[in-house]
Amino acid sequence: MSHRTTHAQEHELTFSDRELRDLAVAWVALSVAFALVRAPFHRGLASFEMFTISVGISFLTVGVGFLLHELAHKVVAIEHGQIAEFRADYQMLFLALVGAVAGFLFAAPGAVYHRGQITTRENGLIAVAGPVTNLLLAALFVPLLMFAATPGFLPSLLTAIGQMGVGINLFLAAFNMIPFGPLDGKSVLAWHKGVFAMVFVPSVVLAGYVLFFVGLF
C-alpha cells in the first residue's frame, strides 16, 4: 500500500540504510508467516523439512510479490518528483507472525511514504502501480503450472512455486485495490473510476476464483 505526505522533489532511485533494513525485515517476516500458515510444523501438521521448503517458496512468491509491489510505488512516485521511502510497520509484522502461529494471517507489512507536490492523477498512478505489478507477476508465474502433470521432486517444486506465485499475487492485487483506508484502491478510485474498475474487478474475480475453486494458495 502507498501513503501520501507533503513536500517535493527528487528523481534519483536511492535507498537509505533504514529502508533496506525495513524491506529485508518485512520480506523475511512475511515469508515466515505465510510458511507457518501453509506448513504448520509447530502444531504437528507438517514436518520441519516441509516448513523449510515452504519458507523458500514463500521467499520467491510472497516476498517477491510484496517487494516489487512496494518498489513499483517508489519508482512511480520518484518519476513524479516525490521523495519516497518504504517503512515497515513492526507492530503489524509481529501480529502477522503471532497470527500465523495461531493459524491465520493478517499481513500489513508497511508502506511506501512519499512527499512532494502532487496531483490527484499522479497520486492515483503511484497507487495503482503496486496492484498492476502483482497482476503482471501472477501472469509470469503461470508457465510454472505446466509441470503439474510431471512426476518428480523438481517439477513438484516448480509447480508449487507457480501455484503460490499466481495465488498470492492475485490476492495482493485484489486486497490492495479495496477502496478503503490507506489501501491503494482509495487513491485510484479518487483519481479515475474507469481505471479503478479495470484493475479492481479482474483482480477480485481472479483472486476469488483461485481461492474458492482452484485452491492455488
- Mean pLDDT, all residues of the chain: 88
Which stretch of DSSP H or E encloses residue 58?
A: helix 48-58
Terminal-residue alpha carbon distance, the chain: 21
User: Exposed (0-12), middle (13-18) or buried (19+): which is 95, by Cβ within 10 Å?
Assistant: middle
Q: Is the pLDDT of residue 136 over 50?
A: yes
DSSP percent split of the chain into helix, strand, coil, nearest 5: 70, 5, 20
Say how far apart CA 123 and CA 17 lie, in whole Å: 26
pLDDT tens for 148-173 read: 778 888 888 899 899 999 999 999 99
Q: Residue 109 has which C-alpha cell?
A: 507489512
Give the residue with greater pLDDT, 99 vs 134: 134
pLDDT tens for 195-205 read: 999 999 999 99
Instruction: Return the bridge partners of 110, or none.
Output: 88
Q: What angle do CA 100, 22, 72 make, to 5 degrees?
A: 95
Q: Is the pLDDT of residue 214 over 80?
A: no
Three-state DSSP at 3 gives strand
Confidence of residue 38 (pLDDT cuts 50, 70, 90): confident
Say how far apart CA 206 and CA 170 lie, in whole Å: 7
pLDDT tens for 64-91 read: 999 999 999 999 999 999 999 999 999 9
Confidence of residue 12 (pLDDT cuts 50, 70, 90): confident
How confident is the model at residue 9, as a pLDDT?
Answer: 44
Greatest C-alpha distance within the chain: 56
Say how far apart CA 100 and CA 34 lie, in whole Å: 7
Say how far apart CA 209 and CA 217 lie, in whole Å: 11
How many beta carbons lie within 10 A of that of residue 175, not counting itself? 19
Q: Residue 160 has which C-alpha cell?
A: 508449487
Say how far apart CA 144 and CA 166 lie, in whole Å: 10
How confident is the model at residue 2, as a pLDDT?
Answer: 62
Task: Report, as residue numbers or ranges, the catalytic residues.
Answer: 70
Given a contact cutoff of 8 angstroms between Cβ atoms, the answer to whether 33 and 100 are in contact is yes
pLDDT tens for 172-188 read: 999 999 998 889 999 99
